[in-house]
Chains A and B, each alone.
Chain A
Amino acid sequence: MKGPEVVLLRRLLVLPAAAAVLAASACAPADNTDTKAAPSGAAVNCAKDRLPLKTAGKLTVATDTPAFEPWFKNDDPSNGEGFESAVAYAVAEELGFTKDEVVWEKVGFEQSYAPGAKTFDFDVNQISITPERQKAVTFSDGYYTVAQGVVGLADGKFAGATAKEQLKDAKIGVQVGTTSLDAVQGQIKPATQPSVFNNQIDAVNALKNGQVDLIAVDLPTAFYVTAAQIEGSKIVGQLAPAGAKEEFGMLLEKDNSLVGCLNQALGELKSGGRLQQITDQWLSSAAGAPVLK
Chain B
Amino acid sequence: MKSRLEVSRAEASRVKSERQLAREARRRRKAVVSGAVAGVSTAVVLGLLAVGLPSSPGWPRVRETFLSWPHFTAAFPDVLSGFWGNVKIFLIAEPIILALGLAVALVRTVKTPAFFPLRALAVAYTDVFRGIPTILLIFLVGFGVPALNLQGAPGDPMVLGAIALVLSYGAYVAEVFRSGIDSIHPSQRAAARSLGLSQAQSLRYVVLPQAVRRVVPPLLNDFASLQKDTALVSVLGVIEALRQAQIHSTKTFNYTPYLATALLFVLLTVPMARFTDWLAARAEGRRAPGGR
Nearest-Cβ distance from residue A252 to partner chain B, whole angstroms: 13
Closest chain-A Cβ to B74's Cβ sits at a distance in Å of 10
Asked whether any CB of chain A lies closer than 8 Å to the CB of B189, the reply is no
Q: How far is the CA of A110 from the CA of B155 in the complex (A)?
A: 29
CB <8 Å contact, A115 and B143: no
Q: Which residues of B contact A212 (CB under 8 A)?
A: 237
- Sorted nearest first, the 4 A-B pairs with minimum C-beta distance are A195-B237, A177-B250, A136-B253, A113-B253
A132 to B256, CA, bound (A): 14
Least CB distance, A221 to chain B, in whole angstroms: 17
Q: A181-B247, A196-B239 are in contact. List 8 more A-B contacts (CB 8 A).
A: A115-B58, A115-B64, A176-B243, A196-B243, A202-B143, A202-B235, A209-B146, A210-B146
Closest to B156 in A: A211
Beta-carbon contact of B143 and A209 below 8 Å: yes
B253 neighbours in A (Cβ, 8 Å): 113, 132-133, 135-137
Which residue in chain A gives the minimum CB-CB distance to B240?
A196
Contact bitstring A85-127, B, C-beta under 8 A = 1, else 0: 0000000000000000000000001100101100000000000
- The answer to the question of B61 belonging to the interface, with a C-beta cut-off of 8 Å to chain A, is yes
Closest to B252 in A: A132
Contact B157 A211 (CB under 8 A): yes
Q: How far apart are the CA atoms of A198 and B142 in the complex, in Å?
A: 13
Distance (whole angstroms) from the CB of A146 to the closest CB of chain B: 16
Nearest CB in chain A to that of B68: its residue: A135
Complexed CA–CA distance, A203 and B142 (Å): 12
Taking a contact as CB atoms under 8 Å apart, the answer to whether A197 and B235 are in contact is: yes
Which A residues touch B21, using CB under 8 A?
none
The contact of B235 among A132, A194, A198, A211, by CB within 8 Å, is A198
Partner of B250, one of A110, A193, A203: A110
List residues of chain B with CB within 8 A of the CB of A198.
234-235
Note all chain A residues with C-beta closer than 8 A to B239.
193-196
Cβ–Cβ contact A206 & B65, under 8 A: no
Find chain A residues with CB under 8 A from B243 CB.
176, 196
In the bound complex, how far is the Cα of B255 from the Cα of A116, in angstroms? 13
Query: When A and B form their complex, what is the total count of cross-chain residue pairs whose Cβ atoms lie within 8 Å?
Result: 78
Interface status of A173 (Cβ within 8 A of chain B)? yes
Specify the chain B residue showing the minimal Cβ separation from A197.
B237
Q: In the complex, which of the residues A113, A173, A178 has the most CB atoms of chain B within 10 Å of its own CB atom?
A: A113
- On chain B, the residues within 8 Å of A133 by CB distance are 251-253
- List the A side residues contacting B252 at CB < 8 Å: 132-133, 135-136
Shortest Cβ distance from residue A153 to the other chain B in the assembled complex, whole angstroms: 13
* Chain A, Cβ-Cβ closest to B253: A136
Q: Is residue B62 within 8 Å, beta carbon to beta carbon, of the partner chain?
A: yes
CB contact between A176 and one of B61, B155, B247 (< 8 Å): that residue: B247
Complex: A173 Cα to B157 Cα, angstroms = 12
Q: Which residues of B contact A (CB under 8 A)?
A: 58, 61-62, 64-65, 143, 146-147, 149, 155, 157, 234-239, 243, 246-247, 249-255
Partner of A115, one of B65, B234, B236, B249: B65
Write out the residue numbers on chain A whose beta carbons fall within 8 Å of the beta carbon of B250. Answer: 109-110, 176-178
Instruction: Determine whether A74 belongs to the interface, using a CB cutoff of 8 Å to chain B.
Output: no
Pick from B58, B146, B249: contact of A211, CB below 8 A: B146
Residue from B58, B157, B254 in contact with A195 in the complex, judged by beta carbons closer than 8 Å:
B157
A205 at the A/B interface (Cβ < 8 Å)? yes
Report yes or no: B61 in contact with A116, Cβ–Cβ below 8 A.
Answer: yes
In this complex, which of A176, A177, A181 has the most chain B Cβ atoms within 10 angstroms of its Cβ? A176
Of A133, A211, A212, most B-chain CB atoms within 10 Å: A211
The answer to whether B61 and A115 touch across the interface, beta carbons within 8 angstroms, is: yes
A202 cross-chain contacts in B, Cβ below 8 A? 143, 235, 237
Please give me the residue from chain A that is nearest to B58 by CB atom: A116
Q: Which B residues are CB-close (under 8 A) to A109?
A: 250
9 pairs of residues in contact across A and B, judged by CB atoms under 8 Å: A173-B237, A176-B250, A177-B250, A178-B250, A195-B239, A198-B234, A198-B235, A202-B237, A211-B157
Cα separation A147 to B180 with both chains bound (whole Å): 60
Indicate whether A182 reaches chain B with its CB closer than 8 angstroms: yes
- Cα–Cα distance between A198 and B235 once the two chains are bound (Å): 6
- Chain B residues with Cβ below 8 Å from A194 are 239
Q: Which of B64, B238, B247, B249 has the most CB of A within 10 A?
A: B247
> CB distance B254 to A136 under 8 Å?
yes
- Residues in A with CB closer than 8 Å to B62 are 115
Kindly provide the distance from the CB of B249 to the nearest chain A CB, expressed in whole angstroms. 8
CA distance A81 to B247 in the complex (A): 31
Identify the interface centre among B62, B64, B149, B252: most chain A CB within 10 Å of its CB.
B252
Which interface residue of B155, B237, B243, B254 has the most chain A CB atoms within 10 A? B237
A205 neighbours in B (Cβ, 8 Å): 143, 147
B146 x A196 contact (CB < 8 A): no
* Contact (Cβ within 8 A) B247 A196: yes
Interface string of A154-173 (1 = CB under 8 A from B): 00000000000000000001
From known contacts A182-B251, A206-B143, infer whether A196 and B58 are also in contact, taking CB-CB under 8 Å.
no
Could you tell me the distance between the alpha carbons of A130 and B248 in the complex, rounded to whole angstroms?
A: 13
